[in-house]
Structure 1
Amino acid sequence: MRQDDSLMSGHIPAQDRRVRALLDSGHFHDADVAFDELVSTGTNLVGEQWNRATVLVHRAWLSWRLNRIPQALELAAEGWTDLDADQPIGASAAQTISILGNLLETIGHRESALELMSLSVQVAREAGDPETLAHCLVRQASALIFRSVAREVSAAERLFGTARDLFDEALLLVGEGQLRRVSLAGGARALAGLGRLPEAERLAQRALELSKEAEDGFCTAVANWVLAVVRRDQGDLHSARTFASRALDSAESIGDTMQMMRYSLDLASVCVQLGDAVGEAAALRRTVRAGSAAVETLQEGLGQALEQRRVAVQAQRLATAAQEAAVRDPLTGLVNRLGLQRQAPELLAETAAQGRIPWLVLLDVDWFKDVNDYAGHAAGDATLQEVAHLLRRECRADDLICRWAGDEFVVLLVDDAEDSRHAGPVVAERIRSAVDRHDWRLVLGCTRRVPTVSIGVAGGPAKLDHLFAAADIALYRAKRAGRNRVETDHGDPEQDRPEIRGG
């Protein structure tokens, strides 16, 4: 088989690209063997051009193609967890998000797929890496093509037009290789959808020539599909049937379920127009083999399981990483209430001995009940994990960060600056602003209300329970004043703690 060194290059190791090339040429046994060798080596050999998350997610996609569903979910969840979901930056992050979106699209979890692919294009543009941008553009455009063929004419034209623009941009960024073949074939399908049949045929024929030469079954299937559509729209139904059959044969040879479903339905439609009942029945039987209602249900369930598994892997990692399980919160990895009560007296005493003001920051996630009710408890757990991540980012390494209970967090500031008189309110406002500006789409998707935090701050020489009571009073005021704000109260140590309303 001819090797294609440009395939998926830039952020995916050469051995991973080899498995992809074997799959696209229908060499399943060789792909299986090569993939086993890949997995046995692990993902610790992280180079400058690609990172662990990118490789994990890409290998999840390969696992899915090889029908190793549990392994695909495991790898995808682990790779998704590795991805910095705060503000993804750089070519590797763009590549990872794009592949993840492509995987979700393939397994039928389509609600988040296109959003992730669109985000990957944005990140790739900011990274300034032409090859990565081309990959992200092609994945998004390909998803739009498959969605457009099932839409009303007006909606389909809009999607075809957008896809054509994306493929055109990708062609300007790539040389020879698989990425160019996909761009040519996909662009041809978009042109056919827009009624520009001569241009579509020219591009499809060129893509078909290149694909056969490279033994690229994926692009061969797409190019034949385009030619079938062109012949059908030109009224040459016999030629359309021939090309549609070739497209379906190629799709079956590489085990691409999405292609098989689409092409078999198109072949059946052409047979109906020809009055070929036998051909129609044969095409529909191939449709049933490609995917039934049970498979579609399974795919949707796998999409949901992927998100749940991602959260579980993240919680498990944080719990394992905690050196003292008794004083760590297993969900967020932060110190728990017991840990705070054990460590705070020493920190407060040290701060007071150095003549500095100790500060306690108490924060509560606003509208947290709405997140659980609307998006589910798995999303609620992921939200708490994201808040914990933001707290780590906005606080100093020596500050004591604690998950107190439920959606309440405590930060005990250890500020070694000469002037610590304003440290508490400054850090609290920084935390509030970070949560308010945070991009929650990777965690919650589209939700009616994104999380914010209300914060109470207390400072001054005092014991932990006195500082906590004062901060709790300030937090209560922040809640009553409209949420998503910071209130400061040096506090009365004898003040009873008011009840904090949930959310």
Structure 2
Amino acid sequence: MLNAGRLAEANTLFDQVVSRVPPGVDRWQRSAVLVDRAKLAWRLGRIPLALELAAEGWTDLDGEHDDNPAAAQAMHALAYLLEGIGNRRAAVDMLRLSVQVARRAAERSPGAVEILGHCLQGLGGTLNFRAISSPPDRAPAIFEEARGYLREGLDLVEEKHMRRALLAAYSRSLAGVGELDQAEEHAQEALRQAEGAGDKWASAVACWVLAVVRREQGDLVRARTLASRAVAASESINDPSLLLRFSLDLADICAEMGDHVGEATALRCSVAASRTATETLQEGLGQALEQRRVAVQAQRLAVAAQEAAARDPLTGLANRLGLERAAAGLLESTAARGRVPWLVLVDVDRFKGVNDDAGHAAGDATLREIAQLLRRECRAADLVARWAGDEFVVLLGAADGNTLEVGPTVAERIRAAVDNHDWTVVLGTACHPTVSIGVAAGPATLDHLFAAADMALYRAKRHGRNRVEVEPHLTPTTPEAISGN
């Protein structure tokens, strides 16, 4: 439909199929489908979608693809997109690679011959354009290389649509190396077949080649007519690269004839084609950038939501979920350094009395103040969390110095900090909070450490509160306990 100039119908059909990938396909086939759709989206002017599909399909191409025809097909379509965004060297390199892969695939499977022909047409046609824009002394060699690829494709391919494309491109290579009679013969045959099939792409290329031939023969009037037909056909199929090339050639023909009106019209067409291609790309990249910005923003919001879910809103410390998420990594890194982790379990003594005497707002302020004291007495690398209610947990990781004394030392600093703190601003003279602390260590899981520290905390409460009790070192009983998993 695109090559026939039926753009509205092509857009509608594209919308129906773009969201579906055929079931049961391997990753090479999936890549080919995605990149081919990216190529179609590009020609339809839907640049952000084209970039998104191309990126996804290109990712699937990573890996070995020595003889996979679908990989060759995907590379061919990807090269078209690279050409469209101006990366001309990468486009040719990708086309050469597609031909290599398709050749190996065709040797293994006769069914891959059509894909090889498609890749040969893409490489040959692109080299034709390179030859046109090259210095005169280099152009014939490039045209000759293109002719070889296109002749190989014609010898292989039987499918009519692909043969028309190969024939039209082949005729341009012939004209480029000076074989004008053969170029005219093949271009006329391509035009006849294209008009019979309603293929405006092949018609545009064939008319262009015939215009080149007539110009070389000195028949500028006929050349101008044929070039104008090529421009009109390329406009109808929305192919800016063809339109730009053909309109420039038409302008040159008109200049030779002294047709300044025709030259100006053709130049305006070429400028419009160039501007359209540039603006479309800029707009598409702008839209893609905006989509990327929105995606990044959404990702940040999601991360923020995850962090909020793992944080206690009252104290700002990690909550139970946050502690459980981070504990495994801290325990693992501590074990990797040959250190023993300590868990310090802090419980506010008679906290109900604080709430009863001073009110719940003062109780909340007390918990926030204790959280600040915990942060002050611990290192940045230690994990400080509010476990529940008036209970706090500090998980001490790898520490330098005497690791046998780290946990009890930190616990005593915490106890003394709370006991010696000036609480009059928060509670007046009614209350003076203290904490009881249980401490445990050992190469164990968070659950085992917590259970042991809880036993020590129970003893601290029973022995009078406002004190630190230490549970004897845990002895691991399973490989999982040893590794901290």
Match in the other structure for 1:32: 11
The whole-number CA distance in structure 1 between the counterparts of 2:146 and 2:265 is 32
CA shift at 1:303, angstroms? 8.5
The whole-number CA distance in structure 2 between the counterparts of 1:221 and 1:289 is 18
Contact 1:104 1:303 in 2 (8 A): no
**Inter-CA distance 101–339: structure 2 relative to 1 (3 Å threshold):** farther
Match in the other structure for 2:103: 125
Q: Alignment identity in percent? A: 44
1:152 matches 2:120: no
Match in the other structure for 2:206: 223
Match in the other structure for 1:93: 71
Match in the other structure for 1:212: 195
The whole-number CA distance in structure 1 between the counterparts of 2:17 and 2:155 is 33
Q: What amino acid maps onto 2:71 in structure 1?
A: A
Match in the other structure for 1:166: 149
Q: What amino acid maps onto 1:120 in structure 2?
A: S
Match in the other structure for 1:75: 53
1:179 matches 2:153: no
Contact 1:88 1:94 in 2 (8 A): no
**Inter-CA distance 111–251: structure 2 relative to 1 (3 Å threshold):** same
CA shift at 1:107, angstroms? 2.9
CA shift at 1:340, angstroms? 7.9
Contact 1:109 1:303 in 2 (8 A): no
TM-score (norm 2): 0.58
SS in 2 for 1:23: coil
The one-character-per-residue Cα deviations of 1:118-152 (angstroms, maximum 9, x if unpaired) are 11111111222312211111111111111211111
Q: What amino acid maps onto 1:155 in structure 2?
A: R
Match in the other structure for 1:51: 29
Deviates more, 1:77-86 or 1:172-181: 77-86
Match in the other structure for 1:277: 260
SS in 1 for 2:151: helix
SS in 2 for 1:291: helix
Query: Which of 40, 43, 46 is 1:65 aligned to?
Result: 43
The whole-number CA distance in structure 2 between the counterparts of 1:303 and 1:160 is 34
CA shift at 1:47, angstroms? 3.9
Contact 1:108 1:299 in 2 (8 A): no
The whole-number CA distance in structure 2 between the counterparts of 1:68 and 1:301 is 10
Match in the other structure for 2:246: 263
SS in 2 for 1:154: coil
Contact 1:90 1:127 in 2 (8 A): yes
Contact 1:211 1:220 in 2 (8 A): yes
CA shift at 1:46, angstroms? 4.0
The whole-number CA distance in structure 2 between the counterparts of 1:302 and 1:88 is 34
**Structure 2: gaps of 5 or more residues:** 107-111, 308-325, 337-442, 444-485
Query: Which of 196, 199, 210 is 2:179 aligned to?
Result: 196
The one-character-per-residue Cα deviations of 1:412-471 (angstroms, maximum 9, x if unpaired) are xxxxxxxxxxxxxxxxxxxxxxxxxxxxxxxxxxxxxxxxxxxxxxxxxxx9xxxxxxxx
Contact 1:101 1:112 in 2 (8 A): yes
| Higher RCO, Cα 8 Å, sep 6+ | 1
The whole-number CA distance in structure 2 between the counterparts of 1:342 and 1:304 is 46
**Inter-CA distance 233–82: structure 2 relative to 1 (3 Å threshold):** same
SS in 1 for 2:18: helix
Contact 1:109 1:300 in 2 (8 A): no
The whole-number CA distance in structure 1 between the counterparts of 2:203 and 2:8 is 20
Moved over 6 A (4+): 300-307, 337-347
Give the aligned length. 311
Match in the other structure for 2:82: 104
The one-character-per-residue Cα deviations of 1:201-245 (angstroms, maximum 9, x if unpaired) are 000000000101111110000000000000000011111001000
Contact 1:26 1:254 in 2 (8 A): yes
Q: What amino acid maps onto 2:84 in structure 1?
A: T
**Inter-CA distance 306–58: structure 2 relative to 1 (3 Å threshold):** farther
The whole-number CA distance in structure 1 between the counterparts of 2:159 and 2:165 is 11
**Inter-CA distance 88–241: structure 2 relative to 1 (3 Å threshold):** same
**Structure 1: gaps of 5 or more residues:** 1-21, 326-336, 348-462, 464-503
Match in the other structure for 2:471: none
Contact 2:208 2:227 in 1 (8 A): yes
The whole-number CA distance in structure 2 between the counterparts of 1:183 and 1:30 is 26
CA shift at 1:343, angstroms? 6.9
The whole-number CA distance in structure 1 between the counterparts of 2:160 and 2:129 is 22
CA shift at 1:188, angstroms? 0.2
Query: Which of 284, 290, 295 is 2:273 aligned to?
Result: 290
Q: What amino acid maps onto 2:246 in structure 1?
A: Y
CA shift at 1:344, angstroms? 9.3
**Inter-CA distance 87–275: structure 2 relative to 1 (3 Å threshold):** same
Q: What amino acid maps onto 1:26 in structure 2?
A: G
Contact 1:98 1:136 in 2 (8 A): yes
The one-character-per-residue Cα deviations of 1:240-284 (angstroms, maximum 9, x if unpaired) are 001000100100010110010011110010001101111111111
Q: What amino acid maps onto 2:89 in structure 1?
A: E
**Inter-CA distance 87–279: structure 2 relative to 1 (3 Å threshold):** same
Contact 1:148 1:159 in 2 (8 A): yes
**Inter-CA distance 343–26: structure 2 relative to 1 (3 Å threshold):** farther
1:143 matches 2:143: no
